[in-house]
Amino acid sequence: ISTVASPALGRAIGAVRATSWTRFASVIALIGLAVSPNVAIATVCFLLRTMLNGIGAPVRQSFVMGVSDEHRRSRVAAYGNLPAVVSGVASPSIAAWLLVSVAEEAPIWFAALLTGMSALFYHTMFRNWKPPEERKVDLATVTSAVDATALPLPAEPPDGHARPIAT
């Protein structure tokens, strides 16, 4: 579902909105996971969160590649993955401490807080950025900037009719 929904959502509402809103929805799923009264509801919340992350990640990666200079894309991709790598290394220790010292659901609340802050920061920083595929071309500006008489004409009109003589 995530693989099919990701490009469609990105086209429909834009890359930044799709990424931000799937992250915000992921926070709601995490909160549902934290307050779940039983394993069945917790499982549904966990699967929903996984699906939402699967929708948002490809759209975010596409956005980052679209707005990055082509010569620096590999470096940008590496830096883009750095937070996930760092959090993957640090989170087990932090989660274990929260689990033992605070409460059983504390690691989930902490993850929801970080995910929400990340989504808000991402949306705030990039809401006015557009990747190339989302930029609209103003035809009035393009046509005024290009002299139509300088454009080469095709050898034969596509409909087979004679071409009118330009004056």
| 13-26: average pLDDT | 90
118 pLDDT tier (thresholds 50, 70, 90): confident
Map residue 128 onto helix, strand or coil: coil
What is the residue-averaged pLDDT of the chain?
80
Q: Which residue has the tokens 């917790």?
A: 42
165 backbone φψ class: left, alpha, beta (φ>0; ψ -120 to 50): beta
pLDDT score recorded for residue 28: 96
- Window from 1-15, 25-39, 138-152 with minimum mean pLDDT: 138-152
pLDDT score recorded for residue 153: 46
pLDDT score recorded for residue 163: 47
pLDDT score recorded for residue 109: 93
pLDDT score recorded for residue 160: 52
| 139-144: average pLDDT | 50
Q: Which residue has the tokens 């409909």?
A: 159
Q: For residues 129 and 67, is the Cβ–Cβ distance under 8 A?
A: yes
Q: For residues 131 and 59, is the Cβ–Cβ distance under 8 A?
A: no
